[in-house]
Amino acid sequence: MNPSVEGGAVGEPSAIPSSPHYITWRQAAIIGIGSMVGAGIFSLLGAAGEVAGAAVWLSFVFAGIIAGFQGYSFAKFGARYPSAGGMLEYVARGFGEGHFTGVTAWMIFQVNIIVTAMVAVSFGSYASSLFANDSHVWAKVFAGVVVVAMTGVNVAGSKTVVRAQSAIVFVVIGILVVFAVVTIANMEPSLLAPSGYPPVRDVFASVALTFFAFLGFGIVTFTAKDLREPSKQLPKAMYLALGTATIIYVAVSLGVFGTLTVQKVIESGATALAVAAEPTLGRAGFWLMSVTGMFATAGATNAGLYPASGLSQHLSETGEFPPFMGRYPGGRVSIGLVLTAVGSLALAIGFGLTAIASIGSAAALLIFMLITVAHLRVRSETGARTSVLLLGILTTGAAFLTFVFTTLVDEPASVATLVAILAFSVLFDVWWKARREAVPPTHAEA
């Protein structure tokens, strides 16, 4: 049985109600797959197509390789230091409990909000296309509804999250396999001819966007607290989640861009899969993929909210976050979860899909690169290979810089938001640590 978590040294957050049941490594992988599939293939094909054209499938291959390097790093780190703090525990192990770790913690918290908002927006797009004639207003309403509903699922506990996620993931993967087989069997090869691909620089620039589709693998690290033997099970869950997602992404992107012109995919935006199903399966195919898109993005919203409770409590106990963020009023509802849900609602209502994806991709690439740098400092403790860690740092850094100088330079609002995220993280960490040190622990909450 998982032990109850005791209060930390800085304030005394309420303990998480312990679950009498563990989840399996396959269930942990399902949480990651559900987050990745909903955040990626149902949301980003149009945005990625604007940059990489019909070579989006290659962009997914490159992004999968980068995610694989990062997944190796995370799996080795998680096997050695399993924690409810997930990837934040890794940063602390590499750099200590100073400002660097605190700033990274606030950035991860915000990026998780961004990812959740992005898939909620995609859910709203699919729901609106089916039930409200693509109404922009109703798309925002539906996005808000799915955030609220999935917050309720997370309040019910990790076992409820797993049950909901398992049901969603198996349905979605089954339908996507059928979609990929049917569209690839009937595709027009000329639409995928390399002669029509954009320059290699543009294809690589799109990797930052398609990498967003793999961000769910980071969520796998937060399942450590619910695994019986995290040192053995976490790596298995990580590799299964990444391998499954990569195969799905490549197959589906081949099917979509082998069926529709690049311009048609771009015009279709978040509903590109549903539009691609129509030529082969008719209107029923459009409805089937739209409903599947709703399932997938609902599952990704569910998975995106999952880390909020454990992450907030862990960081409250270690003093990186204020104590109130680790509390569970009434013994059920995590303040960290509520803040994540509220932030996701605000972003989903205030921003469009592509803008949210650009912001989240750039921030996530930077964070993952820093985590692997932290790993490099303690690699002797985890047994990780130096060469693989260096490849992870170099490939992630290259994708980040390419994206900044080829794509973000034309999106001043996204750049401003990214800078604001970093500035907020720095300022809040400096403010909180100054206050924490100035106020005696017994009065830290005053």
Distance (Å, rounded) from C-alpha 182 to C-alpha 165? 26
Tokens standing for residue 256: 């979509």
The arithmetic mean of pLDDT across residues 147-155, rounded, is: 87
> Confidence class of residue 6 from pLDDT cuts 50, 70 and 90?
very low
Residue 18 lies in a domain: no
Write the CA distances from 435 to 48, 74, 321, 420, 424, integer angstroms.
Answer: 44, 32, 11, 22, 16
Give the residue carrying structure tokens 């029923």. Answer: 284
Residue 445 lies in a domain: no
Better-scored residue on pLDDT, 349 or 261: 261
| C-alpha count within 13 angstroms, C-beta hemisphere, residue 219 | 36
Single-letter amino acid, residue 35: S
Q: What is the CATH number of the domain that holds 146?
A: 1.20.1740.10
pLDDT at residue 346 greater than cutoff 60: yes
Residue 444 lies in a domain: no
Residue 10 lies in a domain: no
Better-scored residue on pLDDT, 161 or 80: 80
**Looking at 206-220, 237-251, 332-346, which range is the least confident one?**
206-220
Q: If we measure between CA atoms, which residue out of 225, 323, 310, 432 comes closest to residue 8?
A: 323
Average pLDDT, the chain: 82
What pLDDT is stored for residue 101 in this prediction? 86
Distance (Å, rounded) from C-alpha 93 to C-alpha 318? 12
Distance (Å, rounded) from C-alpha 205 to C-alpha 305? 29
The tally of domains found in the chain comes to: 1
Q: Are 387 and 106 in contact (CB under 8 A)?
A: no
pLDDT > 90 in the chain, percent: 25
Q: pLDDT digits over 70-116, tens only?
A: 999 988 888 888 776 677 778 888 888 788 888 888 888 888 888 78
Residue 440 lies in a domain: no
What pLDDT is stored for residue 160 in this prediction? 67
Q: Are 269 and 46 in contact (CB under 8 A)?
A: yes
Residue 443 lies in a domain: no
Residue 20 lies in a domain: no
Q: Are 133 and 375 in contact (CB under 8 A)?
A: no
Residue 344 lies in a domain: yes
Domain that holds residue 75: 25-434
Distance (Å, rounded) from C-alpha 303 to C-alpha 294? 14
The arithmetic mean of pLDDT across residues 150-155, rounded, is: 84
Confirm whether pTM is higher than 0.85.
no
- What letter does residue 7 receive in the DSSP assignment? P
